[in-house]
Amino acid sequence: MLRQYQHATLQSRKAKIKRKLWLAVITATLAFKRAMDMLLSFVALLMLSPLFLFVALAIKLHDRGPVFYIQQRVGLQGKEFPFPKFRSMVMHADALKDSLLNQADRAGDVTFKMKQDPRVTPIGRFIRRFSIDELPQLWCVLKGDMSIVGPRPPVPREVALYTQEDRRRLEVKPGLTGIWQVSGRSEIGFKQQVELDVLYIESHGFWLDLKLILKTIPAVLTGKGAY
């Protein structure tokens, strides 16, 4: 009996030590990822500031409307945050969306996508093609609402339609780029997006993040799958 008790106590201590080591590794990994996010987003914001000014001026001169389009998006553990983009559509585009639902590329999908969306402005088509409209989200990365790499943040109405499996996308911080963004972008259907996001969540780490960042560069420059 005494030996059994001692053995059980030893196993319990080993399990506790393993848990502590695992938590320490996770904490260190997240801290490193956050440090890299802050560094990369800060440097990118500085380097791209002339482009920001040029795009803002072009949008303003086109129709005198607001430069930015800001939505509420859902991030880590379901927390909502303001999500900015350079405005690529006509003003009051949201009010026109309902009339276009039956023309969506994938009817019944959780997300709404149209290749030839009539609401997109000429300037908007250009900045969307090269993902320039997404650059203001670097501020979200610097603030800590987003990461450089991770699942794209959904809008609340999409989350309301999520299954339990879909909600796994909310287990990590959303990102600017990820697996499906370098694998076809808007051409990837919602279910496949979820599968690829879950794959990222289960295998993410420094080397995968670096690989995805490097793959993002040609994906952005070619504009494949962007609309």
- For 138-169, how does the pLDDT look when each residue is reduced to its tens digit (9 = 90+)? 999 999 999 999 999 999 998 998 989 889 99
Domain-embedded: residue 157 = yes
- pLDDT < 50 regions, the chain: none
Token pair, residue 102, equals: 């039956």
Residue 85 is predicted with a pLDDT of 97
In a domain, 4, yes or no: no
Q: Is residue 29 part of a domain?
A: no
Residue 164 lies in a domain: yes
**Looking at residue 111, what is its pLDDT?**
65
What residues make up the domain containing 65? 35-222
Domain count, the chain: 1
Work out whether the CA dihedral 25, 31, 35, 36 comes out positive or negative.
positive
Instruction: Output the pTM of the full model.
Output: 0.82
Does residue 129 lie in a domain region?
yes
227 within a domain of the structure (yes/no): no
What pLDDT sits at residue 184? 75
Rounded-to-integer distance, Cα 176 and Cα 150, Å = 7
147 dihedral zone (left: phi>0; alpha: psi -120 to 50; beta): beta
Residue 218: inside a domain: yes
Contact present, 77 and 58 (Cβ < 8 Å) = no
Pairing, β 80-86 against β 147-149: unpaired
Tokens in use for 115?
A: 């290749």
